[in-house]
């Protein structure tokens, strides 16, 4: 299947700082990428949909000013956690679907980024 | 999207078939059934998807009942590496997003 790469895989940051996570589709173009968050022993929660060249759309209850999303190209989306706090510590996962695929194609997921805020 | 119901956990002996059920009784005609799995601390991995016909690939088989209200994912010969959380997702044909339920934790035992 297609490859989606996230960087970094792990990051530790101090409370109050910002952290940027990158999501790249390596062998296909993605007009839409998705960002999820997963707390321990819980399922994935969709945070936002990242649209190439336009603003992201956020799920209800997700603060758009705290989780900044940029989708500047067809192969790269970034999630910036601003003014991070310990409660933002989580596993962040991105996914992407091919721009050339049909509506019923699968989504491919990155390997995830473990964020720890201390 | 239609809601799915899965058992929280299942055990399977190594080498035997693992049959993971999923109920989606409110599924509508334009909704597909997708299966993903997540091995600990990794991103989800696509397994298979279908609309109404049974599907098979190198990883698994998907059996969808005639009324489409339930489905079963079959791993024909489970290995220890198949231990993971398996998610059944129902998604509309023209809808972009995947919403995850709580999934089934499959424990493959030697």
Average predicted confidence (pLDDT) for chain A: 91
CB contact under 8 A, B87 and A43: yes
The pLDDT, as a whole number, for residue A102 is: 60
* Chain B residues within an 8 Å CB radius of A93: 43-44
Q: Which of B98, B99, B103, B104 to mutate to test the interface with A (most CBs of A within 10 A)?
A: B98
DSSP of A32-75:
EEEEEEE-TTS--EEEEEEETTS--EE-TT--TTTEEEEEEETT
Q: How many CA atoms lie less than 13 Å away from B70 in the CB half-sphere? A: 9
For residue range A28-82, what is the model confidence (pLDDT) as tens digits?
A: 888 889 999 999 999 999 999 988 888 899 999 999 999 999 998 999 999 999 9
| Low-confidence residues of chain B: pLDDT under 50 | none
The pLDDT, as a whole number, for residue B109 is: 97
């Amino acid at each position: 299947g297609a490859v989606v790469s996230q960087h970094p895989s792990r990051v530790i940051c101090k409370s109050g700082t910002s952290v940027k996570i990158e999501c790249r589709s390596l062998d296909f173009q993605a007009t839409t990428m998705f960002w999820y968050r997963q707390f321990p022993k819980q399922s994935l929660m969709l945070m936002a949909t990242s649209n190439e060249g336009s603003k992201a759309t956020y799920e209800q209850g997700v603060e758009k000013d705290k989780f900044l999303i940029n989708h500047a190209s067809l192969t790269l989306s970034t999630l910036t956690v601003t003014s991070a706090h310990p409660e933002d510590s989580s596993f962040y996962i991105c996914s992407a679907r091919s721009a050339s695929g049909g509506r019923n194609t699968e989504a491919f997921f990155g390997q995830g980024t473990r964020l720890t805020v201390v | 999207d239609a809601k799915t119901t899965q058992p929280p956990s299942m055990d399977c002996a190594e080498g035997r078939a693992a049959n993971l059920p999923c109920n989606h009784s409110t599924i509508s005609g334009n909704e597909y059934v997708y299966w993903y799995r997540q091995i600990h601390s990794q991103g989800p991995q696509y397994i298979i998807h279908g609309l109404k016909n049974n599907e098979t690939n190198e990883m698994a088989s998907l059996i969808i009942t005639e009324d489409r209200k339930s489905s079963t994912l079959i791993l024909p010969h489970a290995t220890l590496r198949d231990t993971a959380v398996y998610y059944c997702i129902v998604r509309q044909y023209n809808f972009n997003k995947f919403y995850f339920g709580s999934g089934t934790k499959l424990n493959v035992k030697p």
